[in-house]
């Protein structure tokens, strides 16, 4: 707790400073390793040959030769890893696009137009964040079957996009609010139509908001577990988390830990890469939510 001090303006020339720096970076590095270790452990161990992957992962890297066998094995379970991966990519990809488009339109509508019950609609959408979706899964299940969408990826996507709405619309309305109205006026005087105005003039200006919304939509839908578990009962429609849990529970015979970690790696890598590339947008989204 003593670290609350606001030293580290880095202008201290006193002795003992370098010892302190070494200590602090020592702690920083140690903690970083601690947080990354489980991820690194899982990824490294997937390259062991299956026989070695059954043994405790000490050390985590392969010692009896490099192998991709675990990834190959995984494809033999149920409908296959790559089939589930395709489902996941389709679900997450469509959710990202739909979330971005729908919240872009709604954000524009809420920011730039006046219409009856505007505030009521806005509060209605935002207040859904208070209600846990876990408590309305049963009726969602029934509604999807009434719409003929039970056990379809389309149904799952629509549910996912709905769950993204409060955060995304809040983000996009703020993004539009931050654009000066004069820019629009100038474009209108130049004769831009309504739609051209949104796509050509406004879109580039609110693009960071769109990326943030898309990034959150991807991470949330790619990793979502409970709704997919409840709504997708047919093995051919399993997304990766459901598929891998089935493998881990021994549904397809003895648990093959090498294969499970291969699946975990496939699930983690896209999230980690996207986060490292778009970290700025992620933090922006978090703080926007936090500061509101």
Partner 1 sequence: MSSITAKAGAMPSQPVRRRAKVDRSHWVGLLYIAPAILLVTVFFVIPLGMTAWMSLHNWPLMGQHRFIGLDNYLAITKDTRFWNALKFTLYYTVIVTIAIFAVAFPLALFVEKPRPMASVYRTAFFMPVVVGFASASLLWAWLLNVDSGLFSPAAQQLGLTEKKFNLIATFNPAFWSIIVMVVWKVAGFTMVILMTGLQSIPTELQEAAKIDGANAWQRFRTITLPLMRRTVALALILSVAGSILAFDQFYILLRGGPRNSTITAVYWIFNQSFVSFKLGYGAALSMVLLVILVVLSLIQLRLLRNPEGT
**Nearer Cβ to partner 1 (28/236):** 28
Residues 258-287, interacting with partner 1 (CB under 8 A): 260-261, 263-264, 267-268, 271-272, 274-276, 279, 282-283, 286-287
To partner 1, the closest distance from the beta carbon of 193 in angstroms equals 4
To partner 1, the closest distance from the beta carbon of 190 in angstroms equals 11
To partner 1, the closest distance from the beta carbon of 45 in angstroms equals 8
How many residues interact with partner 1 (rule CB under 8 A)?
A: 103
Residues 12-31, interacting with partner 1 (CB under 8 A): 24-25, 27-28, 31
Residues 157-216, interacting with partner 1 (CB under 8 A): 158-159, 161-162, 165, 169, 181, 184-185, 188, 192-194
To partner 1, the closest distance from the beta carbon of 256 in angstroms equals 10
Residues 124-153, interacting with partner 1 (CB under 8 A): 124-125, 128, 130-143
**Nearer Cβ to partner 1 (57/62):** 57
3-state secondary structure the chain: CHHHCCCCCCCCCCCCHHHHHHHHHHHHHHHHHHHHHHHHHHHHHCCCCHHHHCCCCCCCCCCCCCCCHHHHHHCCCCCCHHHHHHHHHHHHHHHHHHHHHHHHHHHHHHHHCCCCCHHHHHHHHHHHHHCCHHHHHHHHHHHHHHCCCCCCHHHHHHHHHHHHHHHHHHHHHHHHHCCCHHHHHHHHHCCCCHHHHHHHHHHHHHHHHHHHHHHHHHHHHHHCCHHHHHHCCCHHHCCHHHHHHHHHCCCCCCCCHHHHHHHHHHHHHHHHHHHHHHHHHHHHHHHHHHHC
**Nearer Cβ to partner 1 (68/272):** 272
Distance between CA 157 and CA 159 in Å, rounded?
Answer: 5
To partner 1, the closest distance from the beta carbon of 20 in angstroms equals 11
By the 8 A CB rule, do 229 and 242 touch?
yes
User: Does residue 6 belong to the site contacting partner 1 (CB under 8 A)?
Assistant: yes
User: Does residue 78 belong to the site contacting partner 1 (CB under 8 A)?
Assistant: no
User: Does residue 156 belong to the site contacting partner 1 (CB under 8 A)?
Assistant: no
User: Which of 13, 18, 58, 65 touches partner 1 by CB under 8 A?
Assistant: 58
Residues 96-125, interacting with partner 1 (CB under 8 A): 102-103, 105-106, 108-110, 112-116, 118, 121, 124-125
Bond from prior residue into 59 cis (ω within 30 degrees of 0): yes
To partner 1, the closest distance from the beta carbon of 191 in angstroms equals 8
């Amino acid at each position: 707790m003593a670290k609350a001090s606001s030293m580290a303006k880095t202008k201290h020339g006193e002795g003992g400073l370098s010892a302190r720096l070494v200590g602090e970076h020592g702690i920083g590095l140690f903690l970083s390793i601690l947080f990354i270790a489980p991820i690194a452990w899982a990824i490294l161990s997937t390259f062991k040959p299956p026989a070695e992957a059954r043994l405790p992962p000490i050390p985590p890297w392969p010692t009896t030769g490099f192998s991709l066998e675990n990834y190959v094995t995984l494809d033999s379970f149920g409908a296959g890893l790559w089939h589930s991966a395709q489902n996941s990519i389709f679900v997450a990809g469509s959710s990202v696009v739909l979330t971005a488009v729908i919240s872009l339109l709604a954000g524009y509508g809420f920011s730039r137009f006046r219409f009856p019950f505007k505030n009521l609609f806005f509060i209605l959408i935002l207040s859904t964040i208070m209600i846990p979706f876990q408590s309305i899964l049963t009726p969602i299940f029934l509604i999807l079957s009434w719409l003929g969408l039970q056990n379809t990826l389309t149904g799952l996507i629509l549910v996912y996009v709905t769950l993204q709405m409060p955060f995304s619309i809040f983000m996009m309305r703020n993004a539009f609010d931050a654009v000066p109205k004069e820019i629009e006026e100038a474009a209108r005087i130049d004769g831009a139509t309504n739609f051209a105005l949104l796509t050509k003039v406004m879109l580039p200006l609110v693009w960071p908001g769109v990326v943030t919304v898309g990034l959150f939509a991807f991470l949330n839908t790619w990793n979502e577990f409970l709704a997919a578990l409840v709504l997708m009962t047919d093995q051919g429609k399993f997304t990766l988390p459901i598929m891998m849990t089935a493998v881990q529970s021994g549904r397809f015979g003895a648990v093959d830990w090498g294969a499970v970690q291969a699946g975990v790696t496939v699930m983690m890598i896209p999230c980690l890469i996207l986060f490292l590339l778009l970290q700025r947008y992620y933090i922006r989204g978090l703080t926007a939510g936090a500061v509101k």
